[in-house]
Amino acid sequence: MASVHESLYFNPMMTNGVVHANVFGIKDWVTPYKIAVLVLLNEMGRTGEGAVSLMERRRLNQLLLPLLQGPDITLSKLYKLIEESCPQLANSVQIRIKLMAEGELKDMEQFFDDLSDSFSGTEPEVHKTSVVGLFLRHMILAYSKLSFSQVFKLYTALQQYFQNGEKKTVEDTDMELTSREEAERKMEKEELDVSISTSCIHTKESETLPAFISQTLSACSVSKSGLGYSHTNVSKNREEEVSCSGPLSQKQAEFFLSQQASLLKNDETKALTPASLQKELNNLLKFNPDFAEAHYLSYLNNLRVQDVFSSTHSLLHYFDRLILTGAESKSNGEEGYGRSLRYAALNLAALHCRFGHYQQAELALQEAIRIAQESNDHVCLQHCLSWLYVLGQKRSDSYVLLEHSVKKAVHFGLPYLASLGIQSLVQQRAFAGKTANKLMDALKDSDLLHWKHSLSELIDISIAQKTAIWRLYGRSTMALQQAQMLLSMNSLESVNAGVQQNNTESFAVALCHLAELHAEQGCFSAASEVLKHLKERFPPNSQHAQLWMLCDQKIQFDRAMNDGKYHLADLLVTGITALNSIEGVYRKAIVLQAQNQMSEAHKLLQKLLIHCQKIRNTEMVISVLLSMAQLYWRSSSSTIALPVLLQALALSKEYRLQYLASETVLNLAFAQLILGIPEQALSLLHMAIEPILADGAVLDKGRAMFLVAKCQVASAASYDPPKKAEALEAAIENLNEAKNYFAKVDCKEQIRDVVYFQARLYHTLGKTQERNQCAMLFRQLHQELPSHGVPLINHL
């Protein structure tokens, strides 16, 4: 393989088929592709301004930069790119290259001699310091350094390059002609078949059957041959691309690495796939194993596929090569070696922390702190302090580390670290139950730092944080507003045209919140559109794909539970558990409870409660307590449910989780209804129903209105007949509203309970026709969703 590259690419650092380590010591070298680009530049200079229109010249100028910086491409592809910009110039370039390749060696010599004339004269065609001028000078210098044997090999490679391009052009032309002929033949055949079928209407069926079979077989053979032909051409195209890609020059390699790194950050879908990118990087490292930046991009690429071993290997190689090449020591003197070592340990700690290897991360972090203290590097120590908080954030005194880190970051002028520290503090205070106005004031101070220093990534994180905080506090309208604000923002960073902006984790988080909020309101088509956009923007192999995967699984689970399809919900639990174990166990307990497997559900909820209390997941603790209370009701143990509900209410009030507090009050009202005190339950409902109707999910709104109707009916038992009839009419209106809410989320089980209750009320009021309609609807739903033996009235 090396000998092939030696004959095609004339790198002076390659001798006897062996590539030297310092392959990028030469800035550039001459290849057949670059000769073709030089011909293009020469023709552009020779063509007058009147011969090429302004729009064509503008398109050519836009084409030049990727041609100069990108890797080598085939001649046919180069012709196609030039023809799309200026067909006239493409013809001139093709003729010029043909004359040079089919001529003699002296034609190529004369061409390079004439290139120097571009810089001569009082008004030269090309300025020496321009991008094109620098490229021309590099090519002239590289060509002048070639020996005679290398010049001869270059000319031979140019001839081969031209012949391959001509062969590809002829094949493309033949393919077009063949496809046209096949289309014409197919049309003629169809016309012939129609005429034959018309003339043979009165023939026997036994005579027409063999002809039909033969036509079918011939059509199949034609389609198979067409498929084989296209597959052969695709494989040939790939082989040509591989044969054209050799050792890149320094500029080409740097351009490739910077382009892929930018795409990985801004729009991962536009970057090469992990396998393709790794193949290109391996090819690059084969010619220069000490290219440190390639090892670092390999590290980022391995992180995409969660490959622990390869990412660690590439990261260590990056810092090893950084020290070996002396890049750090040249810029920082003798201190450069120690700087590389401490930042290598710091990056290794971050890598282990990302994969959940906390003990290894702590050991690497201690090593980084030791080296940074010896070198008195305050910036590195600040980064170490931030990672110390990340490793110990579950401890009660972790906020002390965080506050100290923010103060030190401000003191040393590190706005990025200071802002991250502030946002981490806000997140911690939100989980600790601080008021929303104080948290928003802190985020406002953080936003001032972002806009002052143009930290666009942190602006996105701040808005996503606000979205999550508003959802935590149960204010879905404010969360929706913040999510839409992030979606409507443009990134402050300049990215290329066609590259998506804000393709970061915060953007994925905001979109997931948006999908869940739409699903809660029964807008499942809108939620599916958001998820579809997420899948396109963050493919399954991307690093943030787990966010939308979990969101999608949760929405599907809720829809299956609402529809009464518990077997489908049980299947979805496995996927949820793989992405989030706590959420998976909680959903498994809900499914068991719906299937009347009370003892198994209770065991799971008890274990989950102990675990969540241990890790201080207050939101999940309250949700588990509410599920346990509902389990006690269904087991006819409503008195045991009261202390559990009071514990949940105390926690939700302490941590200011307003929506969970309102849901807990609803459950307390239902407990009072079961205990026979509906008046107190109704007064409790008036306190809790407003936040639910304002910011609650559609399903919770329906449950709240259903409970109000139950309490109204229970309270009307002691009323006079006229007042009782009026109360029952009001209860029927509330039941209609509840039924509309349940219909939005297709919750058939709750609709069945509502129409059953309505039928009873209509019977009491003597409305036979309405009663019969509700009874018929109940019968249809009851046959579709058979009851599990639980009294219908005991459902909340």
- Tens of pLDDT, residue by residue over 396-408, are 667 788 888 888 8
**How many C-beta atoms surround the C-beta of residue 618 within 10 A?**
19
Examine the pLDDT at 91 and tell me if it is beyond 50: yes
The per-residue pLDDT for 396 is 62
Token reading at 51: 């011969």
Long-range contacts formed by 193-197: CB under 8 A, 24+ apart? none
The per-residue pLDDT for 180 is 53
- Tens of pLDDT, residue by residue over 216-235, are 333 333 333 333 333 334 33
Examine the pLDDT at 607 and tell me if it is beyond 90: yes
Angle of CA points 519, 523, 526, to nearest 5°: 95
- Tens of pLDDT, residue by residue over 281-319, are 988 888 788 888 889 999 999 988 888 899 999 988 888
Examine the pLDDT at 438 and tell me if it is beyond 90: no
Contact 225, 217 (CB under 8 A): no
Structure confidence at residue 139 as a pLDDT band (50, 70, 90): confident
Q: Is 601 helix (H, G, I), strand (E, B) or coil?
A: helix
Sequence-distant (≥ 6) Cβ neighbours of residue 485 within 8 angstroms: 463
Contact 638, 674 (CB under 8 A): yes
The per-residue pLDDT for 178 is 55
Q: H or E element: which one contains 14?
A: strand 14-15
d(CA 589, CA 561): 12
Examine the pLDDT at 598 and tell me if it is beyond 50: yes
- Tens of pLDDT, residue by residue over 563-588, are 888 899 999 999 999 999 999 999 99
Long-range contacts formed by 395-404: CB under 8 A, 24+ apart? 398/428, 399/425, 399/428, 402/428
Q: How many helices (H) and strands (E) does the chain have?
A: 36, 2
d(CA 692, CA 521): 12
Structure confidence at residue 378 as a pLDDT band (50, 70, 90): confident
The per-residue pLDDT for 628 is 93
Q: Could you tell me which residue, 25 or 272, shows the higher pLDDT?
A: 272
> Minimum mean pLDDT among 13-22, 92-101, 651-660: which range?
13-22
The per-residue pLDDT for 335 is 53
Distances (CA, A) of 504 to 249, 263, 264, 305, 484: 32, 11, 10, 16, 15
Full-model pTM: 0.73
d(CA 70, CA 31): 13
d(CA 316, CA 292): 10
Residues of the chain with pLDDT > 90, as a percent, come to: 22
Q: Is 260 helix (H, G, I), strand (E, B) or coil?
A: helix
d(CA 703, CA 474): 17
> Minimum mean pLDDT among 171-175, 453-457, 490-494: which range?
490-494
Instruction: Rounding to the nearest 10 degrees, give the CA dihedral for residues 87, 89, 95, 101.
Output: -110
Closest CA to 236 of 152, 318, 174: 174
Residues of the chain with pLDDT > 70, as a percent, come to: 80
Q: Is 18 helix (H, G, I), strand (E, B) or coil?
A: strand
- Tens of pLDDT, residue by residue over 692-742, are 998 889 999 999 999 999 999 998 888 888 888 888 999 999 999 999 999
**How many C-beta atoms surround the C-beta of residue 562 within 10 A?**
19
Examine the pLDDT at 548 and tell me if it is beyond 90: yes
Computed over every residue of the chain, the mean pLDDT equals: 79
Structure confidence at residue 676 as a pLDDT band (50, 70, 90): confident
Length of the chain: 796
In angstroms, how far is the first alpha carbon of the chain from the final one?
A: 73
Backbone angles phi, psi at 70, to 5 degrees: -75, 175
Structure confidence at residue 530 as a pLDDT band (50, 70, 90): very high
Environment class of residue 205 by beta-carbon count within 10 Å: exposed (0-12), middle (13-18) or buried (19+)? exposed
**How many C-beta atoms surround the C-beta of residue 282 within 10 A?**
11
Long-range contacts formed by 366-372: CB under 8 A, 24+ apart? 368/342, 368/343, 371/338, 371/341, 371/342, 371/345, 372/342
Q: Is 495 helix (H, G, I), strand (E, B) or coil?
A: coil
Instruction: Rounding to the nearest 10 degrees, give the CA dihedral for residues 751, 756, 760, 765.
Output: 40
